[in-house]
Chain A
């Protein structure tokens, strides 16, 4: 990891601010994620985690500040110029975001059809490989409405890895899943990370998942990064907000924490 630390960060956010109407969501957010690591962004609900993640592939643009991917500033890139960034940066959405009108096969084939010129046989082979990687080889012909929550996320993940991205962004990958399915998704994220050597950014409030898969953790509160460090450093942190979050008191304000 030490030689990676000298490299240009895979994802860097510098003094990013974002507001929706009068509501400020991100406030001078600074963040650097190294290539090949799994970085977990922890935070309570409404802390700006998902908004932060959507800046990393240009789905949202900052009001001020900069977002750099592999050293390239993507803050002001046009939608067409962002295509290359998005091809190498897959995103798993909270609900899976599968296309309801398309079968599982068609969902996974979607990005392949969009960006690669594959023959029918090659396409089928590639889709099969991706579905096998998430343990859903036999579900190709099902429609998204026939899938359980966990299966939807796994199909979403198969669709993400279809283009063999360098980076995968996970938005709340275990939300809404039972503990068994959550652990399964966690293992899947870890195995994909090891096998594909991708940079992973996981937004979550699930501490168990976070400690199981992350190399480093950042804690987001009120739109700013409160603390960031390796799993061990965060566990041993004396920072009051980190301590409160790890205790399970996710939404306590700093004033409340200090007064207690």
Chain B
């Protein structure tokens, strides 16, 4: 039998946790609306957008390249091995191509960029919050959402699809290396890919990443602006961003795939 006082404490904890979650969700939605509105006000931060695209897109090239290359290699290795058992080795190209274009390319790129860029955004803006730099922007009559959130949101949303296309290409080339080792010719490998991966498959894979990019940036900025409690707070906020951004990518992937399968 649990004492009543303990039950009350637990109920209160659950209640305050739920309220806190709702408040965060409300803040997130408000930030999304404000960011959207800030895009149409004067002083659009063109220069800052370009700087962010460089920081998010160009500087993620290596990490995305390595991830997709090894994903392609491993995927082809497993696929060749499994398909050989069923005498279906010639389908290696089709399977690798479909898996990379539909899921592995978009999701793994989003997770890698979500970790690298999302954490970076939260750490940077979170530090600005605790050192009063965000207040200083407001005190000077400028809008921190337009100056900080909007450029990052646009940069991640626009860079992620491009990085995904690159990841798709590198992943498929990685698969080719393994296919060649197992006696599948380059010509046949690409022929099987082009015959099974349609334009719709490619579009559905890339289209999802616009949403992933937007989610990663908004989660990162929302957590950053809610940072409290000095450098320790920045650490907590950064951790929260990596977790929430990754989970958001995976959950939204399921629903987006469901929607895209019915549309395309």
Q: Is B133 within 8 A of A114, CB to CB?
A: no
B229 is an interface residue with CB less than 8 A from chain A: no
Q: Which residue of A lies closest to B136 (CB)?
A: A97
A91 and B133 within 8 A (CB): no
Taking CB as reference atom, which chain B residue is nearest A113? Answer: B43
CB contact between A94 and one of B128, B132, B139 (< 8 Å): that residue? B132
Q: Which residue of A lies closest to B142 (CB)?
A: A114
B201 within 8 A of A: no
**Given known contacts A94-B132, A99-B133, A114-B43, A57 and B139 CB-to-CB distance under 8 angstroms:** yes
> Which one of A29-37, A66-74, A79-87, A236-244 is at the interface?
A79-87
Q: How far is the CA of A12 from the CA of B139 in the complex (A)?
A: 18
Pair A111/B133 contact, Cβ less than 8 Å: no
Interface residues on B, range: 10 to 19
Q: Which residues of B contact A100 (CB under 8 A)?
A: 127-128, 131, 133
Residues of chain B from 35 to 72 with CB closer than 8 A to chain A in the complex: 43
Could you tell me if B141 and A114 are in contact, using CB atoms closer than 8 angstroms?
A: yes
State the Cβ distance, A246 to closest chain B Cβ, in Å: 29
Residues of B close to A91: CB separation below 8 A: 136, 139
User: Separation in Å of the B247 CB from the closest CB of chain A?
Assistant: 27
B residues less than 8 Å from A97 (CB atoms): 131-133, 135-136
Question: For residue B131, which residues in chain A have a CB less than 8 angstroms away from its CB?
Answer: 95, 97, 100
User: Is the pair B132, A111 in contact by a Cβ cutoff of 8 Å?
Assistant: no
User: In the complex, which residues 129-145 of chain B have their Cβ closer than 8 Å to any Cβ of chain A?
Assistant: 131-133, 135-136, 138-143
A residues 40-88 touching B (CB-CB < 8 Å): 54, 57, 59, 79-80, 82-84, 86-87
Shortest C-beta distance, B123 to chain A (Å), equals: 12
When the two chains form their complex, are residues A86 and B139 in contact, meaning their CB atoms are under 8 A apart? Answer: yes
Where the two chains meet, the residues of A that have a C-beta atom closer than 8 Å to any C-beta of B are 54, 57, 59, 79-80, 82-84, 86-87, 90-91, 93-95, 97-100, 110-111, 114-115, 159, 163
Given A59-B135, A111-B142, 15 other A-B residues pairs in contact with their CB atoms under 8 A: A79-B143, A83-B141, A84-B141, A86-B138, A86-B139, A93-B136, A94-B132, A95-B132, A97-B131, A97-B132, A97-B135, A100-B128, A114-B142, A115-B141, A159-B140
Query: 16 A–B contact pairs at CB < 8 A?
Result: A59-B138, A59-B139, A79-B143, A86-B138, A90-B140, A93-B132, A93-B136, A97-B131, A97-B132, A99-B136, A100-B127, A100-B133, A110-B142, A111-B142, A114-B141, A114-B142
Top 4 nearest A-B pairs (CB, nearest first) are A97-B136, A86-B141, A97-B132, A83-B141
